[in-house]
Amino acid sequence: MTTSQANFKRYQNGWRILIFFIATSLFISFAWMITTTPLYRASATFLVYPNETLTSSRDVVSSLDTLDKRTISTTYSDILQSNRVLQDTLDRLQLDPALMKNIRVYSQVEQDTNILVLNVEGSDPKLVTLLANNVGQNGISFIKSIYQVFDIVFLDLAVEPAKPFHPRPLLVILIAAGIGLAVGILFLVLRESLQVPLATLREKSQTDRQSLAFTRKYLLRMLSQELIKKKEIPLAFSLIYLQGLEDLLEGLPERMAADILQNVVGRLHAMLRGNDRVARWDALTFSVMLPSTPELPATKTLERLISALEEPIVLETGDSIALDPAAGLVLRHAEDTLESLIERGEKTLEQARQGGQKLIVAA
């Protein structure tokens, strides 16, 4: 799978995850709305003003100044929502107090005005409307019995609500979709932040720290996967020993040794296809796996690799090192196991070293 294909697949998966979280959130919101009792609100409004009995202009100005301080409006608002007025209303209407279990009565003063709003909320639209108007009327009667300077009257009677104010389906759906989207994005961000370190660790576990080639363990796993395929599919496996680095590599500084080995790996990669694999087999040996490669193309490839490695490596000091490579190449047999393939590869490499040959191919 190419990088673009992998990115496209991750993009598709990301959208699927987002859709899943949004759909789940919407499902929960629909379930909540179905099981939630709708609530209705009835509102009556009142106007507070100086009493008509005030005769002198001075009294009128004084009363208006008092109203402007909001104390009267606030007091009237508190009376409208008081338990006394509510209880008196229930008694007059001969309503069961148990009906008030889910009823909420509250009043408020409109900002910068002398208008009061009495709200009654509950699950029965007829009941909340009845209570709003009757609590308001009883509140007016009670206020007029104790206050003569300021009068209060209905501005608007409460009208039976046609739609509940809670829950509001459109708002709930929008909020649920937003929550689902936010949670989905958070999940994707967390997943990506975890995947990056995991991918880095996986890459480090597959790569030799010094040469940056694959590790022997990783190549063995790749060889095992290739051997599982159909037996008629060719497979070439080679071991390349760098004789010129004997008694030299261990004495070099770490950085210089790493530069030499990475130079070797770079030369090998330059001659190979994208699905070929290069690994560090041991200190001075590199392995090359050529999937789906018959004998002749594999031999030609190894000859190019040997030719590339025969070029000396020039050090920073100006000195040059001849790698003097020797290689053994084996082709997969139908009966091969991982152990037998490796054993033949190591035996072929040993024959090349002992015989002073650059390359021996064992069919």
- Sheet with strand 40-50: strands edge to edge: 104-109, 115-122, 40-50, 150-156
Q: Are 301 and 272 contacting, i.e. CB atoms less than 8 angstroms apart?
A: yes
Q: Are 309 and 267 contacting, i.e. CB atoms less than 8 angstroms apart?
A: yes
State the CB neighbour count (10 A cutoff) for residue 325: 23
Residue with tokens 């206020």: 143
The CA–CA distances, whole Å, from 209 to 187, 201, 203, 261, 278 equal 33, 12, 11, 11, 14
Tell me, what's the pLDDT at 159? 95
The CA–CA distances, whole Å, from 172 to 29, 47, 122 equal 7, 35, 19
If the chain, 363 residues long, is cut into consecutive pieces of 10 residues, what is the mean pLDDT of each piece? 50 78 90 89 92 52 50 87 93 87 91 91 94 95 84 93 89 90 85 59 72 92 92 94 89 88 94 92 95 94 95 85 94 93 95 93 81
Q: How far apart are CA 68 and CA 188, in angstroms?
A: 56
Tell me, what's the pLDDT at 12? 62
Nearest to 131, CA basis, from 166, 61, 63, 80: 80
Q: Are 297 and 305 contacting, i.e. CB atoms less than 8 angstroms apart?
A: no
Scanning the chain, the segments in alpha helix (DSSP H) are 3-35, 57-68, 71-80, 83-93, 125-146, 169-206, 216-228, 254-270, 295-309, 338-355
Q: Are 134 and 56 contacting, i.e. CB atoms less than 8 angstroms apart?
A: no
Q: Are 345 and 353 contacting, i.e. CB atoms less than 8 angstroms apart?
A: no
Tell me, what's the pLDDT at 57? 44
Tell me, what's the pLDDT at 61? 43
Tell me, what's the pLDDT at 73? 83
Written as one string, the DSSP assignment of 31-52 is HHHHHSPPBEEEEEEEEEEE-T
Q: How far apart are CA 336 and CA 331, in angstroms?
A: 10
Tell me, what's the pLDDT at 363? 65
Reply yes or no: is the peptide bond before residue 167 cis, omega within 30 of 0. yes
Nearest to 267, CA basis, from 222, 312, 237, 223: 312
